[in-house]
Amino acid sequence: MTTTQTGLPLFVLGQGRDPHSERGVECPGELPAASDPGLVARARAAKEALGDRLFVLGHHYQRDEVIQFADVTGDSFKLASEAAARPHAEYIVFCGVHFMAESADILTSDDQRVVLPDMAAGCSMADMATFDQVEECWEALEDAGIADQVVPITYMNSSADIKAFCGRNGGAVCTSSNARRALEWAFQRGRKVLFLPDQHLGRNTAVLELGMGLDDCVVYNPHRPEGGLIRQQLGDAKMILWRGHCSVHGRFTPECVDDVRERIPGVNVLVHPECRHEVVLKADHVGSTEYIIRKLREAPAGSAWAIGTELNLVKRLAQEFPDKQITFLDRTVCYCSTMNRIDLPHLVWALESLAAGQVVNQITVDADTAHWAKVALDRMLALP
């Protein structure tokens, strides 16, 4: 096993079939070789040539080789908001995944063009809830006579189609930071919530922050007739959780927590709320990506931390805070395979294409979908 200087394991998830390979998203041009020693210089030159016409966004989970060229780093919603705050930038290059670039396109003006360096950079969680599946779910709720009592809330990690569905049906978007406020808002408007697409964030927020019981939650499985639920279960539930999860955060287990506590006495376990409920219960601290970063920044020197989130970020935090002992919660789980798709060759190809006047891999959301998705986003922004 190869490790970094911080002792973090270097494994890569998802070496099998790429779930996005069927989209037909081959680059319409030749990528520079990854071995090209001039890639960094080429990226800098292309970025300088574009000047203020370009704004590069880098999600926290991106590789260091890509993050070094980001004008702003952050979580998905922060980055989309930053893009909207740069109306002078003609090109928004989003180093993240597809749903993030969609959100940036929704929030920016028609004159701005959002580019995703690799169209295969997607999100397995977002792909777990398709528009047709969610429409079928809503029909099942109508058949059960409860749809008028349900407010749909979708996590930011969802497609523009799903955000628009929530906008049309009186719902809103949430982030991991404001999920509690979004649920409180929803329960002021209905008796039940359909929470998409991450069951773990929905369950953890409902139980640990709103004081519900686990029996108040049911899981709707889109691959089973009627979601695998009978009408009484739907009628009794307060939270109807979509059967979706993050492929990285969902793999942390309670045994990972037990193991790290045995290896590192006095360690603080800090995890993202996309982790399983059993893992969150065993952790010392739970919070969004921005919360994790802030918690480590404020932590005393010499303290030990095991972090349950994506490995690129954990590695970067270990380098940023060398006065603290920071390790990955699991010995084996690591990079998000789709988030990790964007590498330096793809970024160089995208930047050089833009500098040459060719817009590649532009992400566009149709006007109707963008309108209703923005309604759902605006409802989130209006939360107290």
Note the Cα 292 to chain centre separation in Å.
Answer: 15
Rounded Cα–Cα distance for residues 211 and 292 (Å): 23
Run of H or E residues at 194: strand 192-196
pLDDT of the residue at 91? 97
The dihedral built from the CA positions of residue 62, 89, 98 and 25, taken in this order, carries a sign that is: negative
- pLDDT tens per residue across span 116-144: 999 999 898 999 999 999 999 999 999 99
- pLDDT tens per residue across span 156-191: 999 999 999 999 999 999 999 999 999 999 999 999
- Under the banding of pLDDT at 50, 70 and 90, the label for residue 334 is low
- Under the banding of pLDDT at 50, 70 and 90, the label for residue 11 is very low
- pLDDT tens per residue across span 193-214: 999 999 999 999 999 999 999 9
Output the CA torsion 73→76→80→81 (10° steps).
Answer: -80
Residue type, 285: H
Find out whether 94 and 118 touch, Cβ atoms under 8 Å.
no
4 pLDDT exceeds 90? no
Could you tell me which of 141, 185, 187, 181 has the C-alpha nearest to residue 165? 141
DSSP state of 244: -
Could you tell me which of 21, 222, 221 has the C-alpha nearest to residue 122? 21
- Under the banding of pLDDT at 50, 70 and 90, the label for residue 3 is very low
Architecture of domain 126-246: 3-Layer(aba) Sandwich (3.40)
Asked if the domains 126-246 and 249-328 are classified in one and the same CATH topology, the answer is yes
Rounded Cα–Cα distance for residues 253 and 251 (Å): 6
DSSP symbols for 254-309: HHHHHHHHHHSTTPEEEE-TTS-HHHHHH-SEE--HHHHHHHHHHSPTT-EEEEES
- pLDDT tens per residue across span 65-79: 999 999 999 888 888
Rounded Cα–Cα distance for residues 350 and 360 (Å): 7
- pLDDT tens per residue across span 234-285: 999 999 999 999 988 988 999 999 999 999 999 999 999 999 999 999 999 9
Give the global pTM. Answer: 0.87
> So where are the chain's domains?
32-122+338-365, 126-246, 249-328
- Under the banding of pLDDT at 50, 70 and 90, the label for residue 384 is confident
Tokens at residue 198, please? 């991450």
Rounded Cα–Cα distance for residues 340 and 357 (Å): 27
Find out whether 246 and 223 touch, Cβ atoms under 8 Å.
no
CATH superfamily of 32-122+338-365: NadA-like (3.40.50.10800)
Pick the CATH number of 249-328 from 3.40.50.10800, 3.40.50.620, 3.30.70.3000, 3.30.565.10: 3.40.50.10800
Rounded Cα–Cα distance for residues 317 and 325 (Å): 10
